[in-house]
Homo-oligomer: A and B are copies of this chain.
């Protein structure tokens, strides 16, 4: 009786029906986000527990694959923030459109408070399905230039300052005295790689250095992707004295290419990574790198998802330079 009386009081205070209050308390999904937020706040003030929409406090993390330390950092951030916010993180790997569709069907059936989609932009058809099932979405590290709308649907996303990261990495090498600096990018067409490359060019321009397009290389974001490229760079008549790698995995590949010739960073060549995954400190020598705050990105995305607010549509968390031992002054001719 006492409980029902509070529900009535809350209904009056919020200007909604008692049945709406009850729906919010029990995690019903057919309540407008703004109304839900208002009612949920009142319920909590009165000591009621509020079940997340979907019936249980679960958020889906959808990730292409769990094949590297990069995805693990995002996962860790989401799990730790979820613990703080009282939601559990449900992990699904979905590489293909078919797997995405299968996940979507399952999530719509069991209910979910929303989905964090890593590096993957749903198709317009999937976005419509998400909207119909009232499943909110936030992209982490959008693969294309962040946009406000896909067709008529609003898209929210969280990323990092990739352009500035490329700029900072290259500046660091220039300040150490390097003049012939190569860059290895990820796959062409990947938004983050493109932004980092433009940052590299901006740093060269800022220092009055001519960009040598023969030193701009592409490879997959893995050690192998960089090992071959580095070997080719070292074979040149005028090899670079430093390399800006596309991520920490590529930096490991640069170190391997050096090791295969009995060379070593930073004495023979400097290399700087990108990401600062925990194992960046495992390299010989430990990697100088551009830190991408992956765990914080996931936490930010989760908060944005649960807040239900449409603005801002895109947030970038700052990169920062982490100096360890794989970079130093050039030791041979410019």
Residue ID in chain B nearest A284 by CB atoms: B259
Chain A contact patch, size range:
35 or more
**Residues 94-141 of A contacting B (Cβ, < 8 Å):** 106, 110-111
Q: A69-B72, A259-B285 are in contact. Are A56 and B91 (CB under 8 A)?
A: no
Q: Which B residues touch A42, using CB under 8 A?
A: none
Q: A88-B106, A89-B91 are in contact. Are A278 and B67 (CB under 8 A)?
A: yes
Residue ID in chain B nearest A77 by CB atoms: B66
| Beta-carbon contact of A79 and B93 below 8 Å | yes
Q: Which B residues touch A264, using CB under 8 A?
A: 259, 262
Complex Cα gap A69–B264 (Å): 25
Copies in the complex: 2
Kindly supply a per-residue 1/0 record for chain A positions 278-302, scoring 1 wherever the CB is within 8 Å of any chain B CB and 0 otherwise: 1101111110000000000000000
Complex Cα gap A79–B66 (Å): 9
Kindly supply a per-residue 1/0 record for chain A positions 243-284, scoring 1 wherever the CB is within 8 Å of any chain B CB and 0 otherwise: 000000100110110111010100000000000001101111
Q: Which B residues touch A72, using CB under 8 A?
A: 66, 69, 71-72, 75
Complex Cα gap A56–B66 (Å): 24
The answer, yes or no, to whether A186 is at the interface (CB within 8 Å) is no
**Residues 35-66 of A contacting B (Cβ, < 8 Å):** 56-58, 65-66
The answer, yes or no, to whether A76 is at the interface (CB within 8 Å) is yes
Complex Cα gap A68–B89 (Å): 19
| Beta-carbon contact of A223 and B66 below 8 Å | no
Q: Which B residues touch A76, using CB under 8 A?
A: 65-67, 93
| Beta-carbon contact of A88 and B90 below 8 Å | yes
| Beta-carbon contact of A69 and B69 below 8 Å | yes
Q: A67-B76, A282-B252 are in contact. Are A91 and B91 (CB under 8 A)?
A: yes
The answer, yes or no, to whether A80 is at the interface (CB within 8 Å) is yes
Complex Cα gap A265–B241 (Å): 25
The listed residue (B66, B90, B260, B281) touching A75 by CB distance below 8 A is B66
| Beta-carbon contact of A278 and B106 below 8 Å | no
Cross-chain pairs A/B with CB under 8 angstroms, 21 sampled: A56-B56, A56-B110, A56-B111, A66-B79, A69-B279, A71-B72, A75-B91, A79-B92, A83-B93, A88-B91, A88-B110, A89-B90, A90-B90, A223-B281, A249-B282, A252-B279, A259-B284, A259-B285, A260-B285, A279-B279, A283-B284
Known A-B contacts: A56-B110, A83-B93, A91-B91. Give 7 more (CB < 8 A).
Answer: A56-B56, A65-B76, A67-B76, A223-B282, A249-B282, A256-B285, A258-B284
